[in-house]
């Protein structure tokens, strides 16, 4: 059997995962690639694809697996989406779907144009598109930072 699973996936908990699936499709262009429901039609597990990447969308299922909405809006991680197409149009799509834009699209010192948004349950998403090629030396000069491991 072929290995169809992505080598690294994030799992994001929602109070209403079915609404999250619809919102992520509308706002970001994700596609549902797996949906497992119990006998009552409740979502037991789901996965969404964006290109070759996968994110799992699920319910709150223990005291340690919660939506930001259940824990005062706090996030312990953010999910990063790397685009190959128009980030400004993507930001407007997310805004039209109800995303709270936390940081408008801005070109960063490392050559990516990036925006950040919050989804309806409070998860923070970072979205980027590489818009210019920058060398490590250029990025260090512009940022004042020392960078190791630049590929």
> Nearest to residue 130, comparing CAs of 81, 80, 84?
84
pLDDT grade for 85, boundaries at 50, 70 and 90: very high
Residue 89 and residue 151 in one domain = yes
The enclosing domain of 51 has a CATH number of 3.30.720.120
The predicted model scores a pTM of 0.90
pLDDT grade for 1, boundaries at 50, 70 and 90: very low
Residue 89 and residue 49 in one domain = no
Query: Coil, strand, or helix at residue 46?
Result: strand
- Ranking 15-19, 59-63, 133-137 by mean pLDDT, the lowest is 59-63
Say how many domains are in the chain.
2
Residue 40 and residue 109 in one domain = no
Q: Is 94 exposed, middle or buried (0-12, 13-18, 19+ CB in 10 A)?
A: buried
Note down the domain range covering 41: 1-61
Euclidean distance between CA atoms 133 and 21, whole angstroms? 34
Residue 85 and residue 125 in one domain = yes
The predicted model gives 48-64 an average pLDDT of: 91
Whether residue 72 is contained in a domain is answered as no
- Give pLDDT, residue 150: 81
Whether residue 57 is contained in a domain is answered as yes
% of the chain residues with pLDDT over 70: 97
């Amino acid at each position: 059997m072929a290995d169809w699973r992505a080598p690294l996936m994030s799992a994001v908990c929602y109070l209403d995962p079915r609404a999250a699936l619809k919102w992520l499709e509308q706002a970001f262009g994700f596609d549902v690639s797996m949906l497992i429901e119990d006998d009552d039609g409740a979502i037991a597990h789901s996965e969404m694809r964006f290109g070759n990447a996968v994110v799992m969308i699920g319910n709150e299922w223990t005291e340690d697996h919660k939506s930001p909405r259940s824990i005062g809006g706090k996030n312990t991680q953010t999910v990063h989406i790397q685009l190959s197409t128009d980030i400004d149009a993507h930001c407007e799509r997310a805004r039209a779907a109800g995303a709270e834009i936390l940081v408008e699209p801005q070109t960063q010192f490392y050559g990516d144009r990036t925006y950040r948004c919050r989804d309806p349950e409070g998860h923070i998403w970072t979205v980027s598109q590489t818009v210019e090629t920058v060398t490590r030396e250029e990025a260090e000069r512009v940022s004042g930072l020392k960078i190791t491991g630049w590929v």
